[in-house]
Amino acid sequence: MKGSRRHSFKSVFLLIVLCCFFVSCTSISTKTYVLESPLLKKQSTITIVLIADLHSTIHGENQSLLIKKITELNPDLIVLAGDIYDDIKPITGTQLLLAGISDIAPIFYVTGNHEYSIQNMQAIREDLVSYGVVILSDTYVKIEIGNNELIIAGIDDPAKAKYEITEYIQSESMEKAFRELDSIPVYTIFVVHRPERIELYKQYSFDLVLSGHTHGGQVRLPFINGLYAPNQGVFPKYAGGLYTHGNLTHIISRGLSVSPGLPRIFNSPELVVIVLKGTFP
C-alpha cells in the first residue's frame, strides 16, 4: 500500500513538472503603465520603453520580433535597465537589438551584474557608444521632449566593486551624484538594475524608478507574483510590476531573457511601456 502511494505521488509530481514545462513562456508580452504628473504640461504625453534583462536573447530572426514591437510603440525614450548583455551567451542578440532600435529614439543604459561578470566593461561601453547609447554611470542628464524638461539619472550596479573598482560603494556614489536634484523641480527618472534597494532610492527626490533584475520571479502562480528573485530569495517582495512609495513610483520589468535551462512559468518575457501624461495647467 505504501509503495502504491509513493508511486502515485511520483506520478503526480512528474505530471506537475511536465505541465510547468508545457506552460513555460517564450513569447513577448507588452505591459503598459499610464502615469500622471503635475511636473509635466497638460495634454502632453511621453512614451518610454523599458528593456531589462535581455541577456542577449534573440526574439525572432535577427531580433525582428522585438524590434518590430518597439518600432510600433514609437517611443520618445528607450531605457535599458541592465543585463542587456550576458556573460555566457554571445553578444550577437544585444547587437542586433541595438542596431535595430538606434534610430527610433534616444537610448539610455545602466549596467547590470551580468555585464560586469563578462569582466570587460571597457569593450561593453565601447559597443554601446557605437550604437549611440547614452551610458548613465552615476550621473544624470537633462533632456527635452516636446515642451517638457526631464531629468534621467542612472547608477552603476554594485557588482562594479567586485569586477572593476574595489572601492566603489553605490550608496556613496548616489549621494555625490544625485543629492543636488532635491532642489530641481523637474520630473526625474532614475534607472537602476536592482529593485530590492528601494529604501536607498526613496531617500532622493526621484519621481519614477525603473529597474529589472528579478526576471519576474521566474515562476508565477495564483496569488504569488514571483517564486524567486536574485538578492531577494523565495517569494520576493519586488518581483515585477508597479509599486508606489508615497510620491515615488517604482516599475520593475520582468525581463526579456529566455533560457531553456531555466523556463519562465506563467511569466512571459516582458516589454514594458510607460506613458507619462502631464496635468500642469
Instruction: Tell me the per-residue pLDDT of 46-103, one tens digit each, with 9 for 90 and over.
Output: 999 999 999 999 999 999 999 999 999 999 999 999 999 999 999 999 999 999 999 9
Task: Kindly compute the dihedral angle of the four CA atoms of residues 99, 101, 107, 111, in this order, to the nearest 10 degrees.
Answer: -60
Examine residue 181 and state whether it is found in any structural domain, yes or no.
yes
Whether the pLDDT of residue 142 is over 80: the answer is yes
Across the chain, what does the average pLDDT equal?
Answer: 93
Instruction: Give the domain CATH number at 60.
Output: 3.60.21.10
pLDDT of residue 1: 53
The arithmetic mean of pLDDT across residues 158-171, rounded, is: 98
**Residue 243 sits in which domain range?**
28-280
Examine residue 18 and state whether it is found in any structural domain, yes or no.
no
State how far the Cα of 52 lies from the Cα of 1, in Å rounded to an integer: 51
Contact indicator for 219, 267 with CB cutoff of 8 Å: yes
The arithmetic mean of pLDDT across residues 175-185, rounded, is: 96
Please provide the DSSP assignment of 149-167 as one string: EEEEEE---TTHHHHT-TT
Among 4-8, 186-190, 251-255, the range scoring the smallest mean pLDDT is 4-8
C-alpha cell at 150: 526631464
pTM, to two decimals: 0.91
Number of domains the chain contains: 1
Examine residue 207 and state whether it is found in any structural domain, yes or no.
yes
Examine residue 246 and state whether it is found in any structural domain, yes or no.
yes
- Write the CB contacts of 3 (distance below 8 Å, at least 6 apart in sequence): none
State how far the Cα of 149 lies from the Cα of 157, in Å rounded to an integer: 26
More confident residue, 11 or 102: 102
Helix H or strand E encompassing 171: helix 170-178
Please provide the DSSP assignment of 211-261 as one string: E--SGGGSB-BTTBS-SEETTTEES-S-SSEEEEETTEEEEE-------TT
The arithmetic mean of pLDDT across residues 257-262, rounded, is: 88
Contact indicator for 41, 149 with CB cutoff of 8 Å: no
- Whole-number CA gyration radius for the chain: 20
Confidence class for position 280, pLDDT limits 50, 70, 90: confident
pLDDT of residue 261: 82
Whether the pLDDT of residue 171 is over 60: the answer is yes
Examine residue 184 and state whether it is found in any structural domain, yes or no.
yes
Examine residue 15 and state whether it is found in any structural domain, yes or no.
no
